[in-house]
A and B are shown apart, each in its own frame.
Chain A
Amino acid sequence: MEKYIIRRLLIMIPTMLIVGIFAFLIVQLTPGDPTAAFLGPDAPPEQAEELRVQLGLDQPIHVQFYNWFSQVLRGNLGTSFHRRQPVTSMFLRALPPTLLLASLSCFIAIFIALPAGLIASVKKNSLADKLFSIFVLVGLGTPNFWLGMILVIVFSVGLNWLPVQGFVLPQENLLLSLKHLLLPSISLGYPAAAFIARMTRSSMLEVLKEQYITTARGKGLKERKVIIKHAFRNSLSEILTVIGIVIVSLLSGSVAVELLFNYPGVGRLVVNAVFRRDYPVIQGSLILIAFFILLVNLIIDLLYGYIDPRIRYE
Chain B
Amino acid sequence: MKRTGLIIILICLFLISGSQMVLAIDGQDGGVLNVGYHIQLEDGLDVMATTNVRDDIAQMVFEPLVTYNAEFLPTPILAEDWSSNEDATEWTVYIREGVNFHDGEELIAADVSASFSRFMSMGGRRHEFELVEDWEVIDDYTIEFYMEDSYATFMEDLSMISAGFVVMPEWLVEELGDDWLDIEDVNLHVGTGPYKLEEIDREVEYRFIKFEDYKSPPGESSGFAGERHQFVDEIVIEPIPEDATRSAALFAGEVDLTTEHPGDDYYRLVNEPSTQVEPYMPGLRVYLKFNLMDGIFAEDHTLRRAVRAAMDLEQIMATQGPEELWRINTVPRFQEGQWMWNDVTSDYYVNDLELAEYLVEASDYDGETITLMSNTDWENPARTAPVIQELLQDIGLNVELRNVETATFFDLWTNFDEWDIKTSAGGSEVSVSYLDGSSRTRDGERWANWPPEWDYYLNVAQQSPDMERRQEAISQIYRISIEHVGELYFGETSLLYGAQDNIGYIPDWPIPDFWNVYFKQ
Contact = CB atoms under 8 A, between A and B. Distances in A.
Contacts of B238: 166, 262
Contact of B51 (A40, A149, A262): A40
A164 B254 contact: yes
- Chain A contact residues, majority secondary structure: helix
Contact of B21 (A43, A95, A262, A295): A95
A164 B21 contact: no
A33 B254 contact: no
Interface string B1-26: 01110110011001100100111111
Interface in B416-448: 424, 426, 437, 442-444
A245 to B, nearest CB: 17
B244 interface: yes
B3 A306 contact: yes
B42 A83 contact: yes
B23, B406, B413 — which one has the most chain A CB atoms within 10 A of its CB? Answer: B406
A33 B424 CA distance: 18
B50 A275 contact: no
B502 interface: no
Contacts of A32: 405-408, 410-411
Nearest to B413: A41
A44 B436 CA distance: 12
Contacts of A170: 22
Nearest to B36: A165
B406 A169 contact: no
Contacts of B10: 5, 298-299, 302
A306 B7 contact: yes
A93 B249 contact: no
Given A96-B18, A264-B204, A275 B405 contact: yes
B40 interface: yes
B251 interface: yes
A45 B443 CA distance: 5
B177 interface: no
A96 B3 contact: no
A43, A92, A163 — which one has the most chain B CB atoms within 10 A of its CB? Answer: A43
Contacts of A232: none
Given A164-B249, A164-B254, A299-B11, A44 B444 contact: yes
A309 B42 CA distance: 53
B253 A99 contact: no
Size category of the B interface is 35 or more
B11, B242, B245, B412 — which one has the most chain A CB atoms within 10 A of its CB? Answer: B245
Interface residues of A, number: 61
Contacts of A96: 18, 21-22, 25
A31 B410 CA distance: 10
B443 to A, nearest CB: 5
Contacts of B6: 1-2, 5, 302
A157 B248 contact: yes
A299 B50 contact: no
Contacts of B321: none
B124 A43 contact: yes
A190 interface: no
B240 interface: yes
B408 to A, nearest CB: 5
Nearest to A295: B14
A167 interface: yes
B352 interface: no
B241 interface: yes
A260 interface: yes
Nearest to B8: A306
Interface of A: 1-2, 5, 31-34, 36-47, 82-84, 89, 92-96, 99-100, 103, 149, 152-153, 156-157, 160, 163-167, 169-171, 259-262, 264, 272, 275-277, 295, 298-299, 302-303, 305-306
Top-8 shortest CB links A-B:
A32-B407, A36-B410, A264-B203, A99-B18, A96-B22, A37-B407, A33-B411, A45-B444
Interface of B: 2-4, 6-7, 10-11, 14-15, 18, 21-27, 40, 42, 50-52, 124, 127, 182, 203-204, 238-242, 244-245, 248-249, 251-254, 377, 404-408, 410-413, 424, 426, 437, 442-444
22 contacts: A2-B6, A31-B412, A32-B410, A33-B410, A36-B413, A39-B124, A40-B51, A41-B413, A45-B444, A47-B124, A93-B203, A96-B25, A100-B22, A157-B248, A165-B254, A166-B254, A169-B22, A262-B245, A275-B377, A277-B407, A299-B10, A302-B6
Given A169-B25, A262-B241, A303-B7, 17 more contacts: A5-B6, A31-B408, A31-B412, A39-B52, A41-B442, A43-B124, A92-B24, A152-B248, A157-B251, A165-B248, A167-B203, A169-B22, A171-B23, A262-B245, A272-B40, A275-B407, A302-B10
